[in-house]
Amino acid sequence: MSDSEDLADLRTGADYQFGPGAGRALFPPDESVTIRRSSGGRPRQVIAGDVDDTPGSSEGDRIVTYGTDGRFTLGELGARRIREAFADPAHRVVVGEESEPFVRDGRNAFAKFVTAADDGIRPGDEVLVVDGDDALFAAGRAELSGAEALAFDSGVAVKVRYGVADGRE
């Protein structure tokens, strides 16, 4: 498959996973991207811009990684694009300010600090961890549904994949 055919398929997959419009938000038609592939030729990572694949070259801005399960995990750029494309509360788990430094540092978001969450979140979904002002702290995998994250007083609500440093908004 060509990169353009793969991008069309990736846009469709993003729309399915995140909702209509996600594919265009993650992979705008007017932006060039680099698709890194597995040894079998399957898309593995999508990176913004044209990236030199020689060893030691810059990684570029990873938009997503396409898992073997057919689901996307968001890079920081992908998380920012989803946040901009979907109005609050979609795909978001809101945590209080007391957990901000920990979550930004890449630590998990615990249910006792969750102040709001998208009702549509299911365990296993890719979610954004934000504050009440919608500032992005992290992205990761929901361990609880949105309702459970609000109701529980203990346990991991979001297994954080990476935190977003201050000043990068």
| pLDDT at position 1 | 55
| pLDDT at position 3 | 73
Percent of the residues in the chain that have a pLDDT greater than 70, as a whole number: 91
Q: Show the tokens assigned to 119.
A: 């009702």
Give, in order, the Cα–Cα distances in Å from 119 to each of 27, 99, 106, 145: 26, 21, 24, 7
Q: Which residues pair with 36 in a beta bridge?
A: 45
Query: Which residues fall within 8 angstroms of residue 61, CB to CB, at 6 or more apart?
Result: 47, 48, 49, 75, 76, 77
| pLDDT at position 71 | 94
| pLDDT at position 53 | 57
Cβ distance 64 to 26 under 8 Å? yes
- Say what the pTM is: 0.88
User: Sign of torsion, CA 71 77 83 84?
Assistant: negative
| pLDDT at position 165 | 80
Q: Show the tokens assigned to 63.
A: 């938009």
Query: Which residues fall within 8 angstroms of residue 85, CB to CB, at 6 or more apart?
Result: 21, 22, 25
Distance CA 89, CA 163 (A): 19
| pLDDT at position 105 | 94
3 state SS of 89: coil
Low-confidence ranges of the chain (pLDDT < 50): 55-58, 168-169
| pLDDT at position 49 | 84
Distance CA 85, CA 50 (A): 23
Cβ distance 155 to 109 under 8 Å? no
